[in-house]
Chain A
């Protein structure tokens, strides 16, 4: 059991509304292959996808699993982005699904909340969801060099980290992402939304096996220090959570939400194919989760050509 200051943390209510997907007249987005596509995947209630499902292969861009919420007001919206922590409890407070209970699983353009689908069949756009925010300020007493971000005590327990005799923290992860793939979001602080890993080089993504990642997987990023910002630093290690699906835009891909970072090598990633919050937090059984349909290296606007390159089909 890690020694933490969890007993000193304050649990506070914040809220958002189920947010509608939006479209504009200039709807086309250019893919990394220069093809025009219509984006789908962000906001609203995803009836078909939950945390635990594949991160690649869907006909969607930046797929946000579960229920996406945000606030119409600037202050409460920033409260959601800054102090909602992964693994926090959530409850529907308005509409016919009032009383349904969920868990926070991501922070992107919206905060993502996972529910048992049978409990939210009548959930509507605009319904309020309240979150019991707990985790901001969490510290690991035996690992002062490890910064903890957006991690609830519940998630920390589910991550099954271990203190090692050499003073390092062993963290189970599904995969490691090399530093050079870290893309969109480098300009943002680690406590605010996620940073995508870049999937424009499809052949390399397949070679690294990253196309098998699932939403909810815990991953490590080598040589990235995300303590106070997001950038390359030799020997640093960052631990992240895959929160949204792949993207066909250049410099984008599945979102990595920062959970921990050590500038000085205080984190040691340990391979664990089961390090996914869907089952580690008891949100669903692994047997119920889908694997990527069709080609593992395809995404909605991209298919592999015979030479391993990609061409657009949209």
Chain B
């Protein structure tokens, strides 16, 4: 186990409400434009998604960037920015109003520009009881988490619980090794570049199916841990040779050019200080004990 500063971290409440999917008002078009120019009317990100959960495929859903489980947002912009910045993957989420009051879930992702939700997992019976605008509090803890012996490896949006589950290990001097499902080449990272890396996500572009297949990215699941090669997310998101960002797949595919499954970054370093190790399976549904889709279906 690598040493870190978790004993010095401050846990703080941030809060949002169960969101409702949104569309532009008239006379704006309700369509998203697919990469080939086809207008598509699709469920937009947000709300309570009953039948897609962490551990399911990131592809194949008839939706634009489906966010599994429950997407929450704070009504005021500044409070929502705090929610999206302070909430860390693996944090506890508690329902504070409505029929599901007291139910406990887990933060599994944060969505990017124009959505800006925090995405939470709750058990299927809780989803049945939740209503739009129910208050959900996140016990935010993990911001500024740092590895004591690896000052050049930055951690972001990651709870101590998820850090433990990722099984980050010592590699060569000054570098750490992280097990991941797949590696994403920099040229496939699209929307999210140039935006802030403390909140939101970047997207794996899926328009070129051949490229996705070539890099083994066509089988990604929601919750998978992946590495972005040559990608620097220390103070914003962007290309840099030798840099690595490790993240979690937080939302599903999109038909739009430059868009695709979203990845919230949890760790980054330049100079080859993160060595991704590709392993067969690496999903936060299993790592955080959120239950598999199969178990959920049987319940």
Which residues of chain A have a CB within 8 Å of any CB of chain B?
30-34, 178-187, 189, 196, 198, 200-201, 203-204, 223, 225-234, 249-252, 263
Q: Which of B160-190 contact A (CB under 8 A)?
A: 185-188, 190
Are B235 and A30 neighbours in the complex by a CB distance under 8 Å? yes
Are B239 and A231 neighbours in the complex by a CB distance under 8 Å? no
Question: What A residues does B203 contact at CB under 8 A?
Answer: 186
Are A232 and B211 neighbours in the complex by a CB distance under 8 Å? yes
User: B37, B185, B232, B259: which contacts A227 (Cβ < 8 A)?
Assistant: B37
User: B37, B210, B238, B241: which contacts A183 (Cβ < 8 A)?
Assistant: B238
List of 8 A-B pairs having minimum Cβ-Cβ separation, nearest first: A184-B194, A229-B257, A250-B236, A251-B238, A251-B194, A231-B258, A231-B257, A187-B191
Question: What A residues does B33 contact at CB under 8 A?
Answer: 189, 228-229
Task: Report the bound CA distance from A231 to B241 in whole Å.
Answer: 20
Looking across the interface, which residue of chain B has its beta carbon closest to that of A225? B257
Q: Is B234 an interface residue (CB 8 A)?
A: yes
Task: Report the bound CA distance from A225 to B275 in whole Å.
Answer: 32
Supposing A201-B239, A204-B241, A251-B194 touch, asked if A223 and B36 sit within 8 A by C-beta, the answer is no
Query: Interface extent on B, as a size class?
Result: 35 or more
Q: Output the least CB separation between A172 and chain B (Å).
A: 25
Looking across the interface, which residue of chain A has its beta carbon closest to that of B241? A201
Are A234 and B208 neighbours in the complex by a CB distance under 8 Å? yes
Task: Report the bound CA distance from A52 to B234 in whole Å.
Answer: 33
Task: Report the bound CA distance from A228 to B38 in whole Å.
Answer: 9
Question: What A residues does B195 contact at CB under 8 A?
Answer: 184, 187, 251
Task: Report the bound CA distance from A192 to B284 in whole Å.
Answer: 37
Q: Is B113 an interface residue (CB 8 A)?
A: yes
Looking across the interface, which residue of chain B has its beta carbon closest to that of A197? B239
How many contacting A-B pairs (Cβ < 8 A)?
130
Are A230 and B257 neighbours in the complex by a CB distance under 8 Å? yes
Task: Report the bound CA distance from A232 to B237 in whole Å.
Answer: 17
Question: What B residues does A198 contact at CB under 8 A?
Answer: 193-194, 238-239
Q: Output the least CB separation between A194 and chain B (Å).
A: 11
Are B207 and A251 neighbours in the complex by a CB distance under 8 Å? no
Q: Output the least CB separation between B190 and chain A (Å).
A: 4
Are A200 and B258 neighbours in the complex by a CB distance under 8 Å? no
User: B34, B210, B230, B237: which contacts A180 (Cβ < 8 A)?
Assistant: B230
* B 216-241 to A, binary, CB cutoff 8 A, 1 in contact else 0: 00000000000000101111111111
Question: What A residues does B197 contact at CB under 8 A?
Answer: 250
Are A230 and B241 neighbours in the complex by a CB distance under 8 Å? no
Q: Is B46 an interface residue (CB 8 A)?
A: no
21 contacts between A and B (CB under 8 A): A30-B236, A32-B232, A180-B230, A180-B239, A181-B239, A184-B238, A187-B112, A196-B194, A200-B238, A225-B207, A226-B257, A227-B35, A227-B257, A228-B33, A228-B34, A228-B36, A230-B258, A232-B207, A249-B194, A251-B194, A251-B238
Are B35 and A233 neighbours in the complex by a CB distance under 8 Å? yes
Task: Report the bound CA distance from A252 to B193 in whole Å.
Answer: 8
Q: Name which of B112, B234, B238 has the most chain A CB atoms within 10 A of its CB.
A: B238
Task: Report the bound CA distance from A97 to B266 in whole Å.
Answer: 53
Q: Name which of A178, A198, A203, A231 has the most chain B CB atoms within 10 A of its CB.
A: A231
Looking across the interface, which residue of chain B has its beta carbon closest to that of A202? B240
Task: Report the bound CA distance from A196 to B195 in whole Å.
Answer: 12
Task: Report the bound CA distance from A200 to B39 in whole Å.
Answer: 35
Are B234 and A223 neighbours in the complex by a CB distance under 8 Å? no
